[in-house]
Amino acid sequence: MKNELNFINPSELSFRLSSGNLMELSYKGEDMGRVALLRMFPFMYEDEYISIRCENYSRADKEQEIGIIRSLNELSEEQAQLVRGELKKRYFVPDILSVNEVKEELGHISWNVVTSAGDREFTVTDMSSNIRSVDSKRVMLTDIYGNRYYIPDVTLLDDKTLKIIEIWI
């Protein structure tokens, strides 16, 4: 097992979108096909430490890392925009702006909230795994379908919302 980071020379990368709007990559002149882009530190460094992975088709359950982009600023503006667009799709996480109601029933916690993407209702189970403090101000919630919701700063929430959620976070 390798314990060192494999930073990629940005001049050796060429991203493109397939006809199906999937991210593909040429690396060192070799067509790598479809790739996945993941932020290694999604809450701290949105444009830094981006892992590039391709599927290993001999073992469909395993992804293989090609390498890491240290910073999107190292890419051309066109390439950086392609990568940002792909990351935006993967990391669509609406901010919770206010909470209308939270109810618990049989171990399921139902949330009725207003988010940056509109009104949402979702259910959370297993509070210890699915309601996580990122730090003293930020909270991430994951619903039963794996959708994520984010409170960027609990200190900025209105008093009504704070009163409703204080038991849960």
Q: Mind listing the pLDDT tens digit for each residue in 37-65?
A: 999 988 788 899 999 998 654 444 556 89
Instruction: Note whether 130 and 140 are within 8 A (CB).
Output: no
Q: Mind listing the pLDDT tens digit for each residue in 106-148?
A: 889 999 999 999 999 999 998 888 999 888 899 999 999 888 9
In total, the chain counts a number of residues equal to 169
Q: Strands 23-27 and 13-17, how do they pair? A: antiparallel
Q: Where do the H-state alpha helices sit in the chain?
A: 77-90, 127-130, 159-165
Instruction: Give the span between the Cα atoms of 26 and 79, in whole angstroms.
Output: 12
Instruction: Give the span between the Cα atoms of 100 and 87, in whole angstroms.
Output: 30
- Other C-beta atoms closer than 10 Å to the C-beta of 87 total 19
Structure tokens at 150: 């984010």
- Residue 4 confidence class, pLDDT cut points 50, 70, 90: confident
- Residue 101 confidence class, pLDDT cut points 50, 70, 90: very high
Instruction: Note whether 54 and 35 are within 8 A (CB).
Output: yes
Q: What is the pLDDT of residue 62?
A: 54
